[in-house]
């Protein structure tokens, strides 16, 4: 009988908190990544679109010192999704997100609710501390994430047609001939 080299999971030894603390991010230098980044308070919060110029400036400042190719992005009222291509030999997306969040937060007045934990640590209460990243695996995975990004404003009921959302790279992809202008009109998208 072959024995597995993977240790058995013992629920008495590990808790969800322990597992979360040991989360290891995928770091592939020069990787192509999909990200989701959320505001801390997502209830009826339109801060990202209300302060879109501040957010754009935060991206501009960060990418000026840490070059990144923004393949696609959609900025929604309370979160955003994007795909980045990092330069060869560079896996520093965490630094980029820290800078973007910091530049944006510093451009705003301090009037948001801050938890006792954030106050103790001297943190703002604007962004969720974590974000979700996914290393894009292949062309099919890339296409699925592009579709997801561009369809998201329709999914969240912000517009009925993808082309009507102003805070997205959809029009750029239409201009390149990748998407037709009426893509996903009628509520369907390529993701199913």
| Domains recognised in the chain with CATH numbers | 24-137 (3.30.70.1290)
Residues of the chain with pLDDT under 50: 1-15, 17, 190-192
Pick the closest to residue 106 from 70, 68, 62 (CA basis): 62
Reduced to 3 states (helix: H, G, I; strand: E, B; else coil), residue 152 is helix
> How much is the pLDDT for 183?
97
What is the value of pTM for the model shown? 0.82
> How much is the pLDDT for 72?
98
> How much is the pLDDT for 162?
98
Distance CA 87, CA 108 (A): 30
Is residue 26 within 8 Å of 71, Cβ to Cβ?
Answer: no
Tens digit of each residue's pLDDT (9 = 90 or more) over 85-100: 999 999 999 999 999 9
> How much is the pLDDT for 134?
96
Tens digit of each residue's pLDDT (9 = 90 or more) over 8-37: 444 444 445 455 556 678 899 999 999 999
Distance CA 19, CA 103 (A): 31
Tokens of 179: 């998407």
């Amino acid at each position: 009988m072959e024995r597995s080299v993977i240790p058995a999971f013992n629920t008495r030894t590990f808790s969800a908190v322990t597992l979360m603390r040991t989360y290891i991010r995928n770091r592939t230098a020069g990787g192509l990544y999909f990200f989701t980044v959320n505001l801390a308070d997502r209830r009826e919060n339109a801060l990202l679109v209300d302060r879109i110029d501040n957010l754009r400036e935060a991206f501009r400042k960060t990418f000026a010192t840490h070059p990144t190719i923004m393949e696609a992005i959609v900025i929604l009222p309370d979160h955003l999704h994007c795909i980045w291509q990092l330069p060869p030999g560079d896996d520093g997306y965490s630094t980029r997100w820290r800078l973007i969040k910091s530049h944006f937060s510093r451009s705003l007045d301090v009037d948001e609710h801050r938890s006792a934990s954030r106050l103790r640590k001297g943190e703002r209460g604007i962004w969720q501390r974590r974000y979700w990243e996914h290393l894009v695996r292949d062309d099919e995975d890339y296409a699925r994430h592009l579709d997801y990004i561009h369809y998201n404003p329709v999914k969240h009921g912000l517009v009925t047609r993808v082309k009507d959302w102003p805070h997205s790279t959809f029009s750029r992809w239409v201009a390149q001939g990748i998407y037709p202008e009426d893509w996903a009109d009628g509520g369907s998208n390529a993701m199913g």
